[in-house]
Amino acid sequence: MTIAATAPPLNGEVAPRSLRTSPRKRAQSPTRADASASTSTPAQPKQKKPRAQPVDESELECAACPAPGEPAPTPGKDAASDRETWICCTQCKTWFHCICIGLENPDDYSKWYCQPCITRSQQAFNSGTSTSRPPLANVARPPRRKSHRAKLEVDYAAIQDGIPADPLGRWRNFLDTYDFEPDRFPRMQGHEWTLDWLLHDEHALRQPVLVPASETPASTPVKRENDDAKGKKKGGARLVPRPTSIPGMVVPPAEMTIGDIADLIGHDTPVEVIDVASQSSSKASWTISEWAEYFAMPKHKKKKTLNVISLEVTGTPLQAYVEAPQLVRDLDWVTRDWPSERRDATCADNSWPKVQRYVLMGVEGAYSDWHIDFAGSSVYYHVIWGQKTFLFAPPTPRNLAAYKSWCSSTRQDFDWLGDHLHGLTRVDIRPGETMLIPSGWLHCVYTPQNTLVVGGNFLTDWNVATQWKLVGIEDATKVPKKFRFPHLKRLSWYVASGWNRRLSGMDRDETDEDRERILSSAQVEALVDVVPPKKVLEGIELVCQSLADDLELMQDEFILESGDERAVKQQKAAREAVPTHHVGSLAKAEAMLGELKERLERAMRVADQVDAARQGLASKARQNGNRAASPRKARR
């Protein structure tokens, strides 16, 4: 118990004695009638106060207290000098005096284990009875980090260097003065976005690709007559979705306004608004109608620069105006493998990954800082009107390490990540142009003028290694669940189940001689539609291994005994992610993974032959196409 000393009075004055107040109610003075009544009744004998119960000294002792006759422990330099400070073992829940175990500050540890528990776990680990978890060890509490992300401060060093003090000014300054590498990203025609491009171009889905506009639409929205600020149409023609040169892709017409979007999805629909200065969500709640009013406001009247980048419109009337390219839908895990009956418009918003149809509305001066899309997903991005300026950096180990370190930094407002990246490339995307951003590419985005964009995210079999690497970075930097790819674990189970079904054509009784036998050309060509490219098989193996690790985590009984809260949560999340309605019980899920592994092994043995046959068939098809297209020679 600590007694606080009282400060001496100033100037030699005697401090007035403070009156002590008691929480008890003071007894009222008896009246004369009460006094006379009290004299007539005999006095009652006073009851004695009950004697205080003796304190059980054993309750004040801990498991490490010295036995009688042994010397008391000597506290360290900063250790507690009495027996008032205790600490509890995370494993066995036994309490100890910090002075008895020589512990200076119990707040230094988020998990602390007593020596008997550590010894038992070490013995169990050495004996092999528990090989899935390492022995117990104390976990030090990391120093508390105070984030400056949502605050605006003046960077006087930047001002000294001629860099504007406000974040928006500094970002514009970087774009205007930075020495970027020349834009060498490939340009493609829309009709070239097919599966053949992916199969026969080794650079496909490895670097961003831009599809120029097939026609030149207006750079600003065409505002129809009798449209007010909220977009309530009082006249005018009906808006019609517009197909693009990319097969299967549908986008809104260039005449669509933010008011039209409010009319389609409902004026009371909530939208998440980003404060560009702090790069965080606005504290105020917004509706699409309020956002339309803000968007139409002149720039000099806008007190803040705001941005909307996460309006997903699946299940709304606006869905008819946003459709991903056919190639994206063929590659997208969600579209291909998530059961269709569990992703229709009647399902709950949070029951399946709705990330395919985003509408982005940025005002002039809006900026999105450096980021990688969740789970390393790829992105298709189409500008309806306005303009977007992208800065790209490749997902090299050096760049990803810098990104991981920057995500954990407290000076993101003043430390521009671009200074730590290499290979920066600037790309301006104009109206009618479409950008395909592969997995893992770092990018930041600036909006030089009011802009309307549609796009979506998708995960593929072709980039699993990069996707899983980015998921690991999200885990390490503790990205909140809100900003993660939704239902990723459950989606992985659907992907594994889908490939197990598609590779069932590999099932046949094999002997050792069959494994060594070289398949005939006819047999190989028959497997072209069954066996995917080798790169895809390698990605499926990574998915399969990830799910096998989850199964091992679910079956680890030591986790619950260890008391590791984080591991317990991970185990619970892994169990809840298994779609038992689709793959059955955990035993059936494990059997399904076993079948998939066997089929993958068979497919990998013939993958090189099938790839060669696929290239040969494609070459023949191109030759036949060229012959049909070339004019016939005149007969002599």
Please name each of the domains of the chain with its CATH number.
55-140 (3.30.40), 190-214+240-338+352-483 (2.60.120.650), 488-508+518-626 (no CATH)
Q: Residue 262's pLDDT band (boundaries 50, 70, 90)?
A: very high
What gap in Å lies between CA 229 and CA 210, rounded to an integer? 34
Percent of the residues in the chain that have a pLDDT greater than 70, as a whole number: 74
Q: What is the pLDDT of residue 538?
A: 94
Instruction: Give 119's strand partners.
Output: none
Instruction: Pick the range with the lowest mean pLDDT from 119-128, 188-197, 422-431, 470-479.
Output: 119-128
User: Within a 10 A sphere around the Cβ of 191, how many other Cβ atoms?
Assistant: 11
Q: In this structure, are residues 441 and 208 in contact, taking their beta carbons and an 8 Å threshold?
A: yes
Q: In this structure, are residues 466 and 372 in contact, taking their beta carbons and an 8 Å threshold?
A: no
Residue 368 pLDDT > 60, yes or no?
yes
Residue 257 pLDDT > 80, yes or no?
yes
What gap in Å lies between CA 620 and CA 626, rounded to an integer? 10
Q: Residue 322's pLDDT band (boundaries 50, 70, 90)?
A: very high
Cα 165 to chain centroid, rounded: 30
Q: What is the pLDDT of residue 64?
A: 85
Identify the burial level of 311 via C-beta atoms within 10 angstroms of its C-beta, where 0-12 means exposed, 13-18 middle and 19 or more buried: buried
Q: What is the pLDDT of residue 228?
A: 40
Q: What is the pLDDT of residue 461?
A: 95
Copy the structure tokens of residue 256. 């669509």
**Strand-strand pairing, 209-211 and 242-243:** unpaired
What gap in Å lies between CA 177 and CA 406, rounded to an integer? 22
Which range, 5-9, 106-110, 531-535, is most confident? Answer: 531-535
477-516 pLDDT, tens digit each: 989 988 999 999 999 999 999 999 999 877 665 554 555 5
Average pLDDT value over all residues in the chain: 79
What gap in Å lies between CA 573 and CA 565, rounded to an integer? 12
Instruction: Give 442's strand partners.
Output: 393
Phi, psi of 296 (to 5 degrees): -80, -10
Residue 215 pLDDT > 70, yes or no?
no
- Cα distances from 151 to residues 278, 414, 421, in angstroms, run 6, 11, 25
Instruction: Give 455's strand partners.
Output: 358, 381
What gap in Å lies between CA 238 and CA 480, rounded to an integer? 41
Identify the burial level of 69 via C-beta atoms within 10 angstroms of its C-beta, where 0-12 means exposed, 13-18 middle and 19 or more buried: exposed
Q: Residue 82's pLDDT band (boundaries 50, 70, 90)?
A: low
Read out DSSP for 372-412?
--GGG-EEEEEEEEEEEEEEEE---HHHHHHHHHHHT-S-T
What letter represents residue 177's amino acid?
T
